[in-house]
Structures are given as C-alpha cells and as structure tokens.
Amino acid sequence: MYTQPNIAVVSVNTDLDVRGVPRVKAQIEQLINSGCRRIVLNMSEVSYIDSCGMGFIVCAVRRMKTLGGLMSLTNVQPTAFKALVRMGLIDFMPISTCAAKSRVTPLAPGTHPSFQTTFRVDPNKMCDARSRAIALLKTLPFTSDQKFDIELAVGEAIGNAVDHACEKGVLTTVSAYPDRVVIDVSDCGCGFSISDEEEPPETGQFAERGRGVKLMRLLMDAVSIQEKPSGNGTIVRLVKMMR
C-alpha cells in the first residue's frame, strides 16, 4: 500500500469473499478514520466477489461520499467486473478494468484552446491553486468524481514542484479543448524527465517524485514529465478526456 496525506493506493491480494473481506475492511476503515479521502483499490489479484464483498464495497463507497471523499476500483479482472456489472455498481463508483489504457491521441497541429489561463502558485497557499484550477473547469462536462481526481492530480504535481524544485517559480496553466483539458505545472528546479512507458524510480533522489507519478497516472488519462526545452526545470502535463 502507498499512501499520501489524502490518497491511498491499496493492493487487494485476496478474493473479496467472507474470508477475505474482514482484513481488507479493517485496512480501509483505518485509512478513512485517519482522514484519507481518496482510496484506490488495485483489484488485479481479485477473481471473485461474493455478497459479503459487494456489501463491503457499497458501504465503503457510501461512507467515503458522506465524508466528501471517493473510492474507486482499478485493474478489475473480467470475472470480478461481470459481478460488479450485475450488481449495478459500475454506475455507483469509478471502476476501470485490467485492459490496457488507450493512448491519448495528440492534438492536431494548429489546434487552439477554447480558453487558456496561467497563474503563479503561492507555495503557502497551494489549496488556493488547486481550487482555482478546478474552478476553471466549471463550464466543462466533467463529473464531480472526475473533478475530484483532477484536483488530486494537480495537487500532486504542484506539491512535487514546490517541495522538490523551487518555491517561488511554480506556474500552472489550464487549457481547454473540445475533447480534453490539459493542465501544465512547470517549475525552475534541476529538471526531471520520464518517458510514458518508463516506470518511475523507487529509490534515489527522485523516488518520492516517482511515487507521485504513479498516482497521477492512475487519476488522469495521460501524464508526461519532461525537462523544459530551455532553461532549468520540469513541465508536468496532465490530460483528462471529456467522455
């Protein structure tokens, strides 16, 4: 399990049946009670969900929503997905299967945004920066759950920039296009790059930043991290498609 103050990724390594649920339930309840408000369950090793498992999922999702949070399932196996469909849970919470995520098509050359706004991030008011980015999306057709994930991903990018790069040189740019929103967070640090296919580092000076990359990839449709083409620093690009 990997956790940040407001988000946790939990790998479920047992079927969600009458024997497996109590252990997973205790873990989730501990996270919720500690103040975590975004939980992602990695279901890659779950092949079976019985009524006890369904009840656990429904109760946990309801409790999270009551507290203003969100729980989602990712890497769901086909057999488990069918059970979730039959119970109607796919309309109740965000669920993604273990199928490979489709690659986001690049914007056509010459495509201009319908609007674009850039603002400087005050390192002492990062909450204001997150809120401002989300406020700019109010006219776009995103669900509340999608906006929740976008805000968390933006917060992760901004937090990394402030913590590991430079406090006073972080800029955020929000650009809206007909089929997507693109959010760039740039800094003036020493620079960090990772390809789309590359796994982020788990050790060394960029290990913490690497864990943040995994979280952003879970929350967004595309994430790119590149050194600035000129000068010092990194540009993190977050893309969320409008579906």
Domain tally for the chain? 2
Residue 61's alpha-carbon distances to 29, 64, 131, 204, in angstroms, are 11, 5, 24, 36
Tell whether 74 and 127 lie within a shared domain: no
Of 63, 97, 131, the last residue of a domain is 97
Per-residue confidence at 171, pLDDT binned at 50, 70, 90?
very high
Q: What does the pLDDT look like over 36-50, one tens digit per residue?
A: 999 999 999 999 999
Q: What does the pLDDT look like over 1-32, one tens digit per residue?
A: 554 557 899 999 999 999 999 999 999 999 99
Domain range spanning residue 213? 115-241
Tell whether 141 and 237 lie within a shared domain: yes
Per-residue confidence at 243, pLDDT binned at 50, 70, 90?
confident
Q: What is the mean pLDDT of residues 189-199?
A: 79
Q: What does the pLDDT look like over 85-130, one tens digit per residue?
A: 888 887 788 898 887 667 899 999 999 999 999 999 999 999 999 9
The pLDDT value given to residue 89: 84
Q: Is 216 exposed, middle or buried (0-12, 13-18, 19+ CB in 10 A)?
A: buried
Tell whether 141 and 226 lie within a shared domain: yes
pTM as predicted = 0.72
Of 52-56, 159-163, 166-170, where does mean pLDDT reach its minimum?
166-170
**SS3 track for the chain:** CEEECCEEEEECCCCECCCCHHHHHHHHHHHHHCCCCEEEEECCCCCCECHHHHHHHHHHHHHHHHCCCEEEEEEECHHHHHHHHHCCHHHCCCEEECCCCCCCCCCCCCCCCCEEEEEECCCCCHHHHHHHHHHCCCCCCCCHHHHHHHHHHHHHHHHHHHHHCCCCCCEEEEEECCCEEEEEEECCCCCCCECCCCCCCCCCCCHHHHHHHHHHHHHCCEEEEEECCCCCCEEEEEEEECC
The pLDDT value given to residue 3: 47
Tell whether 190 and 121 lie within a shared domain: yes
Tell whether 165 and 221 lie within a shared domain: yes
